[in-house]
């Protein structure tokens, strides 16, 4: 798989991103091999989604279909969702419970650990047909994948050499995820959104704190995210992932904040909300973070926006579109009132809200905008060029450069003088 050598990062600090990376088919295909099937932990789903033996769900790694289930041993097993016989999708459902998996095409049958256990008419009929004596079912199981779990979040990898999950995530993410996801969760619902743009525009978006109160006027207006809040960005030591955080109400003066946004061409006293309960914040975490957007390389996001908790998975479908797959969460011990509050608040991000719609639109206009100029570059230097490191301000997009640095390493595209 060869990538056109003309597609390259011109600066070692990734402050310029070639537009060809978003439209080139060979780049897309190489990403599937080198990133999604490479030494990365891919978000798979949540422990709470498959509590009982036999519970299964389908998911994807990049665009490779996978199925994961809880085995009779209580452990989670994951496989490529593809029959070892003729390659048909083994499971077509989104989820279910079963004692085994049977392909509808020729009824080949697998146990919950992915071993082939049944082949109809294996010995033929009346001594004729069927498989030869040298066929060993042990050689024809499903493609098994490594699975690890952290704070109830399941990740999977194709590669034997991928480091342990906790090391992969790094301390800043562990500190954010553990209190939020590492207690009994409840799935409140799912949402899917098809976005007509390259998947990398979205994983940049979740590392781009700068846009959070500019594109999302709603967030600046109602104080959900403002550049004036105490906050910043923290990355794992390799700068693959990021947690962008902020603490509401920490600005020196609200009047001053409105004035600053006005000067920045954003009217933050225009929108009105009749149901203010939708944006109420009920503090519930010791670190006081009221907005935290956590990105995990390559394509996962875990969010706390006030009391709205969700996991997001980017499911690429080709260079030009992807599905954004949302799992909306609460806690098993939430009161009915708290569950209602979270559901109401999920409208900020959800089908009736602004955040999903606006990010989707931003991705699509960028995708359309760059299509015919593959040799030109995006500019990524908000918060400083050069070294990739944590920031204690909310006016930066440094973690985007972190994403590209690891992307380039895995893709074999690191420029001269590359920072990591």
- DSSP characters over 342-367: HHHHGGGTSTTSSHHHHHHHHHHHHH
The answer to whether residue 359 forms part of the interface with Fe ion (CB under 5 A) is yes
The answer to whether residue 204 forms part of the interface with Fe ion (CB under 5 A) is no
- Indicate the residue among 41 and 201 with the shorter CB distance to Fe ion: 201
CA distances from 82 to 65, 101, 143, 276 (A): 8, 11, 8, 48
Shortest spacing between CB 212 and Fe ion, in angstroms: 6
Give the interface segment with Fe ion, choosing from 112-120, 235-243, 337-345, 358-366 (CB under 5 A): 358-366
Give the interface segment with Fe ion, choosing from 275-283, 287-295, 353-361, 389-397 (CB under 5 A): 353-361
Instruction: Give me the residue label for tokens 């939020």.
Output: 180
Q: Tell me the number of residues near Fe ion by CB under 5 A.
A: 1
Instruction: Give me the residue label for tokens 């499911």.
Output: 315
Which residue lies nearest Fe ion, judged by its C-beta? 359
Shortest spacing between CB 374 and Fe ion, in angstroms: 25
- Indicate the residue among 67 and 301 with the shorter CB distance to Fe ion: 301
Shortest spacing between CB 216 and Fe ion, in angstroms: 6
What order of strands is seen across the sheet that includes strand 109-110? 101-102, 109-110, 116-118
- DSSP characters over 173-216: HHHHHHHHHSS-EEEEEEEEEEESS-HHHHHHHTT-GGGGGTT-
- Indicate the residue among 13 and 359 with the shorter CB distance to Fe ion: 359
**Which string of x and - marks every residue 303-342 that binds Fe ion (by CB under 5 A)?**
----------------------------------------
- Indicate the residue among 162 and 393 with the shorter CB distance to Fe ion: 393
Q: Dump strand ranges (E) for 152-307.
A: 153-157, 185-195, 230-235, 242-247, 291-296, 300-305
Shortest spacing between CB 213 and Fe ion, in angstroms: 10
**Using the 8-state DSSP alphabet, how is residue 414 labeled?**
P
Shortest spacing between CB 40 and Fe ion, in angstroms: 23
Region of 185 please: left (phi>0), alpha (psi -120 to 50) or beta: beta
Give the interface segment with Fe ion, choosing from 124-132, 178-186, 225-233, 357-365 (CB under 5 A): 357-365
Angle at 205 between CA 202 and CA 209, to 5 degrees: 165
- Indicate the residue among 42 and 219 with the shorter CB distance to Fe ion: 219
Closest to 377 measured CA to CA, from 5, 6, 20:
20
Give the interface segment with Fe ion, choosing from 13-21, 114-122, 355-363, 402-410 (CB under 5 A): 355-363
Per DSSP bridges, beta strands 308-318 and 300-305 are: antiparallel
Positions in the binding site for Fe ion (CB under 5 A): 359
């Amino acid at each position: 798989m060869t990538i056109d050598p003309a597609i390259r990062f011109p600066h070692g600090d990734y402050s310029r991103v070639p537009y060809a990376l978003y439209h080139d088919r060979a780049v897309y295909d190489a990403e599937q091999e080198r990133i999604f099937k490479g030494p990365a932990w891919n978000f798979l789903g949540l422990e709470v989604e498959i509590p009982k033996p036999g519970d299964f769900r389908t998911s994807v790694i990049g665009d490779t279909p996978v199925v994961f289930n809880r085995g009779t041993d209580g452990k989670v097993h994951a496989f490529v969702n593809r029959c070892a016989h003729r390659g048909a999708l083994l499971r077509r459902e989104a989820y279910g419970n079963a004692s085994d998996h049977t392909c509808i095409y020729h009824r080949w049958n697998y146990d919950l650990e992915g071993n082939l256990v049944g082949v109809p008419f294996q010995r033929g009929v009346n001594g004729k047909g069927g498989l030869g004596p040298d066929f060993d079912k042990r050689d024809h199981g499903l493609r098994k994948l490594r699975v690890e779990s952290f704070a109830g979040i399941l990740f999977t990898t194709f590669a034997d050499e991928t480091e342990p999950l906790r090391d992969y995530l790094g301390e800043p993410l562990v500190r954010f995820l553990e209190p939020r996801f590492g207690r009994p969760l409840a799935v409140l619902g799912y949402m899917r959104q098809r976005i007509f743009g390259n998947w990398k525009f979205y994983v940049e978006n979740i590392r781009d704190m700068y846009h959070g109160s500019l594109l999302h006027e709603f967030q600046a207006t109602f104080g959900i995210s403002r550049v004036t809040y105490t906050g910043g960005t923290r990355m794992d030591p390799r700068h693959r992932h990021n947690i962008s955080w902020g603490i509401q109400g920490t600005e020196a003066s609200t009047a001053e904040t409105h004035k600053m946004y006005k000067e920045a061409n954003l009217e933050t006293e225009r929108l009105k909300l009749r149901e203010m309960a939708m944006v109420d914040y009920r503090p519930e975490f010791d670190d006081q973070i009221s907005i935290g957007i956590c990105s995990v390389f390559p394509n996962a996001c875990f969010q706390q926006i006030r009391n709205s908790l969700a996991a997001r998975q980017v499911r690429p479908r080709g260079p030009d579109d992807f599905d954004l797959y949302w799992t909306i969460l609460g806690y098993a011990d939430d009161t009915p009132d708290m569950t209602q509050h979270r559901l109401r608040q999920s409208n900020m991000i959800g089908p009736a809200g602004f955040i999903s719609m606006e990010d989707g639109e931003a991705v699509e206009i960028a995708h359309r905008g760059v299509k015919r100029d593959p040799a030109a570059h995006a500019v990524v230097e908000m918060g400083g060029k050069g070294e990739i490191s944590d920031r204690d301000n909310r006016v930066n997009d440094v973690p985007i450069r972190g994403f590209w640095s690891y992307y380039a390493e895995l893709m074999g595209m690191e420029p001269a003088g590359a920072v990591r």
